């Protein structure tokens, strides 16, 4: 049996249009949700935490690390798809742009990093991270909804689609999780909110309700 991994997305953040998005911290609500999730991960075997270097992801990683007593390995390659060309977008415009990002994976939408490139990057860095782990170690990735969905689609061998996004299947404001194996070829659970995610059950075997790969 191959090792297991969990991908977590940051929950609610402090939105500041005058600050680079990469520097946004978790809000108090986000920190509370992260702490509650971390308390339920304490029985995860031999955890190692990997994190995006963006502030909101590191905030999540630090909360989980403190609860589990696990080290954090941060790398910018775990970061969200590059959206610096547009900077902060009002919610309605952001959602429309994100729809186009998933619908046109081989194109740069408004200068954003292409979905195919962001997917190749996140898959490569996650694969490299788990390659050095033992089967009894659990990799916990603290990251973002966009690249998390791209990773999930790769693992499940699904076509890139906004319908695979965390906002559709999990909590609409982030703070979601899915589980997969170290070989990156078996999805053990689809997006679930922090409040619904059951790590022990999700890490054991593929969930029966998962749709077949397509």
CB 200 within 8 A of CB 25: no
Q: pLDDT tens, 14-24?
A: 999 999 999 99
What residue spans define the domains of the chain?
4-82+115-202
Q: How many whole angstroms separate alpha carbon 176 and alpha carbon 164?
A: 13
Q: pLDDT tens, 36-73?
A: 999 999 999 999 999 999 999 999 999 999 999 999 99
Q: Give me the residues paired with residue 148 across strands.
A: none
Q: Give me the residues paired with residue 163 across strands.
A: none
User: CA nearest 174: which of 146, 140, 138?
Assistant: 146
Sign of CA dihedral 162, 164, 170, 174: negative
How far CA 121 is from CA of 80, 133, 151, 208, in Å, comes to: 10, 19, 9, 29
For domain 4-82+115-202, the CATH architecture is 3-Layer(aba) Sandwich (3.40)
Q: How many whole angstroms separate alpha carbon 147 and alpha carbon 168?
A: 15
How far CA 172 is from CA of 168, 178, 185, 190, 205, in Å, comes to: 7, 15, 26, 15, 26
Whether residue 211 has pLDDT greater than 80? no
Whether residue 178 has pLDDT greater than 50? yes
Q: How many whole angstroms separate alpha carbon 179 and alpha carbon 185?
A: 11
DSSP 8-state secondary structure symbol assigned to residue 44:
S
Q: How many whole angstroms separate alpha carbon 67 and alpha carbon 19?
A: 29
How far CA 160 is from CA of 24, 93, 115, 157, 176, in Å, comes to: 27, 20, 8, 9, 18
Question: What's the whole-number average pLDDT of the chain?
Answer: 94
User: CA nearest 182: which of 131, 113, 148, 119?
Assistant: 131
Q: pLDDT tens, 180-189?
A: 999 999 999 9
């Amino acid at each position: 049996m191959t090792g297991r991994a969990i991908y977590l997305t940051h929950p609610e953040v402090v939105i500041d249009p005058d600050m680079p998005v990469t520097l946004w911290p978790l809000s108090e609500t986000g920190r509370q949700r992260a702490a509650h999730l971390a308390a339920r991960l304490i029985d995860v075997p031999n955890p190692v935490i990997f994190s995006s270097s963006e502030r909101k992801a590191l905030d999540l990683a630090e909360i989980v690390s403190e609860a589990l007593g696990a080290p954090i390995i941060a790398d910018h390659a775990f970061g969200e798809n590059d959206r610096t060309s547009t900077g902060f977008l009002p919610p309605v415009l952001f959602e429309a742009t994100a729809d186009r990002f998933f619908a046109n994976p081989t194109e740069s939408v408004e200068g954003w990093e292409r979905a195919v490139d962001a997917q190749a990057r996140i898959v490569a860095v996650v694969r490299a991270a788990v390659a050095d782990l033992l089967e009894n170690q659990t990799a916990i990735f603290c990251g973002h909804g966009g690249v998390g969905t791209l990773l999930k689609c790769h693992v499940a061998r699904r076509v890139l689609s906004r319908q695979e996004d965390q906002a559709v299947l999990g909590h609409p404001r982030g703070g979601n999780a899915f589980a997969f194996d170290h070989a990156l070829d078996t999805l053990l659970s689809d997006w679930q909110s922090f409040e619904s995610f059951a790590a022990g059950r999700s890490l054991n075997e593929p969930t029966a309700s998962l749709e077949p790969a397509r």
